[in-house]
Homo-oligomer: A and B are copies of this chain.
């Protein structure tokens, strides 16, 4: 696979443009003035035909098929695993570089899994497909990498509080509808989630394996090790869906080889790319979903010594799952490709 050829303007496609992440991708391409001379938007039959705005012009969303990629330089995929498995190779064979937001290719050994603040160099080894990690993984590795570099993380234990927008637009609607129903003492309907999500907690994201781990937990563990390039980090996770619209939170306990004080950790994080330290609990400063939604950074607060380990630290990590957790990270990968284009 050749690298992206240097151009002034690129033809960019967004596959799954009408979804929660696809929407955000279009917005972020515009916000960051990505050199997209032409933007092609694709979706399935359900939403093809809708109009979306980009750079002040209306764009009609076209029906995705095998011929959609002719002339496309970069395609951002966010249309689910099945579409990515089937059509990413088709796009690659028409010369398109695919940045794929699904789980389809993430653990493929020849596919780089990239968070630009953590392993930007990996993107340049691509064979046509670059995988965008899972939302809960991205915010975790952005915060853990500077600490790993300085003190080597031996162990990480993560419990998540994940918002509904991670499931998609229908889940946001379901949370609104269920909430309205409950407040007016009506029956709740469950279509997206197996159980009521309004005023409830679902300790399941994805399906379970024989060891009792759900898909999201395995993603968090395996993707983190792959992106950090260190499978010796002993990681575990519990992932929980909470009735929040946007931004995921993570309660993280780490054990490091070298002792780091909370102040040292805060200093490292303050200088780390993509991280914003928001940590002064005495003044009630800590990251919360409602403040973080719509922001680009990974916010870290509640940095404290975890005395359950000799070298332990607590971190509370919150980030917008649709932006840094998905669309922004994908666009940043594309920016890296453009920068390295020759």
Using an 8 Å CB-CB cutoff, how does the interface string of A136-164 with B read, 1 for contact, 0 for none? 00000000000000000001110101000
Report the Cα distance A319→B238, complex, angstroms.
18
- Of the listed stretches A17-25, A203-211, A332-340, chain B binds A203-211
Known contacts A155-B308, A179-B179; A243 and B161 CB within 8 A of each other: no
- CB pair B200–A308 under 8 Å, yes or no, is no
- CB pair A308–B157 under 8 Å, yes or no, is yes
**Which B residues touch A176, using CB under 8 A?**
183
- CB pair B304–A245 under 8 Å, yes or no, is no
Chain A interface residue bracket vs B: 35 or more
Chain A 189-240 interface residues, beta-carbon cutoff 8 Å to B: 194-196, 199-204, 208, 211-214, 234-236, 238, 240
Q: Is A282 at the interface (CB under 8 A from chain B)? A: yes
- CB pair B314–A244 under 8 Å, yes or no, is no
**Which B residues touch A200, using CB under 8 A?**
244, 288-290
Report the Cα distance A156→B157, complex, angstroms.
11
Q: List 10 tightest A-B contacts by C-beta distance, closest first.
A: A159-B159, A212-B304, A159-B251, A236-B308, A208-B281, A234-B308, A238-B251, A200-B290, A236-B306, A203-B316
